[in-house]
């Protein structure tokens, strides 16, 4: 019996998802990578190939162009490592790092890519904090080009064709609940963008959404509350500094 209760006590109580661009870091990595290009800009013809909802394909062309211009793996890593953290984010990471093991399972879900994210997290000393990183896979090929592949396909009309974060979150929560044999007490989601609104819609009334204040995710939550009360069910805690997230999590773990 003791070993059984021991297993249960080692199960995490809370699952917390983080977006990356403009949530963990205060910039957008897809924009920052352009700083590695000659003259730190892209040619107009390349920018003109962007189509709404097909950003992933556009970034694949951008990365191919950078390789053709002689931009190397270390050049790209260097610009990624320089991105500043969002306000208060180091304090939030430190809070999560020193919590007892059974408190938080921490997962990153992002429409950036593995190389951009891993470069920054390793430099920041934060890679070990994340149980999983769910993002578009990216690896360098023999020609030195960073090749990015779509994370998955889905049929959500709201999201770009390579990633619906709601599908990612739902799949992850279902799989982990099955593996654990019990649900998490609460699911938490920290984000900023329109593509973070979609997964937050799947949260229940005990769950929590932490939208960056006055960013698209926050505006969409506010609009939804006004237009269709009751559709957005999660407790909403907007933040300017991630220190505000820490304050709310302190209360949560003390309950």
Nearest CA to 164 out of 182, 30, 236, 172 is that of 172
Question: Which one is catalytic: 19, 48, 143, 171?
Answer: 19
The answer to whether 111 is a known ligand-binding residue is yes
The answer to whether 30 is a known ligand-binding residue is yes
Alpha carbons within 13 A on the beta-carbon side of 115: 21
The answer to whether 11 is a known ligand-binding residue is no
Question: Which one is catalytic: 11, 21, 75, 171?
Answer: 21
Structure tokens at 84: 């500043």
Q: Does residue 19 have an active-site annotation? A: yes
- Spatial neighbors of 50 by CB under 8 A, at least 6 apart, are 58
Q: Does residue 21 have an active-site annotation? A: yes
**Residues marked as catalytic:** 19, 21
Specify binding-site residues for substrate: 30, 111
Which residues are annotated binding-site positions for Mg(2+)? 19, 21, 192
Residues annotated in a binding site? 19, 21, 30, 111, 192
């Amino acid at each position: 019996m003791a070993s059984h209760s021991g297993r249960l006590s080692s199960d995490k109580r809370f699952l917390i998802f983080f977006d990356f661009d403009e949530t963990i870091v205060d910039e957008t990595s897809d924009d920052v990578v352009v700083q590695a290009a000659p003259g730190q800009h892209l040619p107009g013809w390349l920018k003109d190939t962007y189509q709404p909802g097909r950003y992933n394909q556009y970034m694949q062309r951008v990365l191919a162009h950078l390789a053709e211009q002689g931009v190397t793996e270390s050049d790209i890593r260097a610009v990624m490592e320089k991105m500043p953290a969002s306000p208060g984010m180091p304090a939030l990471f430190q809070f999560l790092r020193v919590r007892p093991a059974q408190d938080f399972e921490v997962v990153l879900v992002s429409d950036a890519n593995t190389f951009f994210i891993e470069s920054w997290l390793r430099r920041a000393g934060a890679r070990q904090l994340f149980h999983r990183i769910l993002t578009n896979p990216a690896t360098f090929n023999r020609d030195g080009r960073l090749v990015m592949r779509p994370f998955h396909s889905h049929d959500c009309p709201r999201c770009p064709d390579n990633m619906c974060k709601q599908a990612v979150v739902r799949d992850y929560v279902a799989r982990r609940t099955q593996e654990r044999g019990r649900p998490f007490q609460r699911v938490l989601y920290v984000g900023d963008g329109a593509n973070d609104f979609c997964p937050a819609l799947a949260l229940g009334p005990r769950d929590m959404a932490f939208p960056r204040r006055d960013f698209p995710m926050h505006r969409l939550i506010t609009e939804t509350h006004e237009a269709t009360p009751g559709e957005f069910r999660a407790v909403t805690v907007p933040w300017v500094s991630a220190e505000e997230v820490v304050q709310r999590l302190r209360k949560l773990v003390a309950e």
